[in-house]
A and B are shown apart, each in its own frame.
Chain A
């Protein structure tokens, strides 16, 4: 795909880029072309919402940012570190990038507190006391301080996802990736998770969220991007994207998700 590169809105503001992905291409099993030259620049403190139909490659794309998925062509730079096969760089990038998954992926054999302190203790090499102190602050921030000694299996879905957010934040990342964090939740629990994400966005951290929560995107996102068939189709402010989409593909997608 050799389209002229889409001019990013972000480039004009002169802000400092923290994620720079250029023409990223990826094949699954050497034959399925899942990312067909995707470019995206995200600036420090920006909140970008990624939308798009199922199977369009949204998860695959954001998972390349912390090397959970390797890619074959193009380049990705996170906070000035080139993402290559170099394991040192991968380790450095994973310290900067936190991730929240659709299925929570909490460690079931550890308590809530142990889930949150595990990486700070073993990767950042903090003392247990320091890690626990910070973990308790984070658990308070996401509103589950009183469940710290429980096991994940004893919590509701919404509570588990909030623990997962606290666990990612405990590594003090500069960037947070969210892959459909509310899709596996019962409707009444979606709000408590979105509330936490909203406060987080206001705190100034850089966020890339794959989500279909239109209300959240309208209110919190600085930019919305639409992916379809492994390509970025449109990139706009939420107001423009939802009220006045330019591309046919975006109109079709919006007509499907808005009622």
Chain B
């Protein structure tokens, strides 16, 4: 700990007894009391109904039988170690980043504990559905890896604070390695075709690739929209407004049908690649608008001060304007990425078997007819876990950046 590290001490909290709290907040007058009772009744009814369904009526065999299909689809079983290795890499990166970002604060604060709780609950669900002892051991191992590396990362971050600035690059490299592993491009063995991926694996792959690729594209569009060169500006505006005026499904269909037409004959990108192109084009336009909001929030004096110091326009934009603009819009950008993640479910409509598409194809199996509620509830739970984890991680990031920048 360096001496000039700010120490945060919350305001003193006054202890009140639960009874006093309940009296003050729930039963202060007769209307309040009535509302409390009605709410508790409704809540109780929903909870009882749901738990009866979950624990006695629902037949979860459909999930247990198809668990692997949901997660990794028809990925070759003998090559599954690659998926585990990529997952391990991502978990390790996550743990280290968590630690580095939290180098000056408590590692397990409220948000940290919440995130850990959700991940632990996920592992428990996985354990309930898995029977193979090796997978059980590996799942538990991931959780341990995460926590251990978070502590290691915190130490590293304290020892070398500049590590924080290398995190985005680290993640980019990590993703590239994970991608190459999953595709079988490194590590030996038979490569796996993009179109042979399915299930949650495909959902994650399309979402992450689209997010990563659309980010620089969106930033360039936002800068283009503010460019002093009319042609650049008009093209950026035209692109952004065109894409924002179209529903995503239209763009996804267009990407499936049009991309092969625009490209020279002989090059027929895989269906998954076309889907990624569609998602990226769509996401970049929205990202551009969000980033533009951030660019506008940077005061003019910042640009003038940088000019007066002799910084040229490129340095001015990359060192002064963009860092401030992006910091200002982190919450919006994360929100947009979360919705892009959910939007990948539309790929089921253009015929890809990502998580939702996999659910539909399982339901089409006569053996599992009528199990819609179980399948969709399970799919919903997976989406919720992923999105909520992203949301907490982003709050964490904001909090950390807010500490250093104010």
Contacts and interface: CB of A to CB of B under 8 A. Distances in A.
B320 interface: yes
Contacts of A212: none
A150 B309 contact: no
Contacts of B304: 68, 101, 105
A98 B304 CA distance: 12
Given A101-B304, A105-B304, A122-B319, A171 B309 contact: yes
B405 A109 contact: yes
Given A118-B319, A150-B4, A105 B301 contact: yes
Interface in A81-110: 91, 94-95, 97-99, 101, 103, 105-109
A58 interface: no
Interface string A133-171: 000000000000000011101100000000010011001
A123 interface: yes
Given A109-B323, A118-B319, A151-B406, A101 B309 contact: no
A94 B307 CA distance: 8
Interface residues of A, number: 29
Interface residues of B, number: 24
A101 B307 CA distance: 12
A151 B308 contact: no
B324 interface: yes
Contacts of A106: 305
Contact of A109 (B2, B305, B310, B327): B327
B215 to A, nearest CB: 19
Contacts, number: 70
Contacts of A250: none
Contact of B311 (A66, A97, A119): A119
Interface of A: 66-68, 91, 94-95, 97-99, 101, 103, 105-109, 118-119, 122-123, 149-151, 153-154, 164, 167-168, 171
The 3 closest A-B pairs by CB, nearest first: A105-B305, A119-B309, A105-B301
Given A91-B310, A123-B310, 17 more contacts: A68-B307, A68-B308, A94-B307, A94-B309, A97-B308, A105-B304, A106-B305, A107-B305, A119-B309, A122-B315, A123-B309, A123-B315, A149-B2, A149-B4, A153-B405, A171-B309, A171-B310
Interface of B: 2, 4, 6, 299, 301-302, 304-312, 315, 319-320, 323-324, 327, 404-406
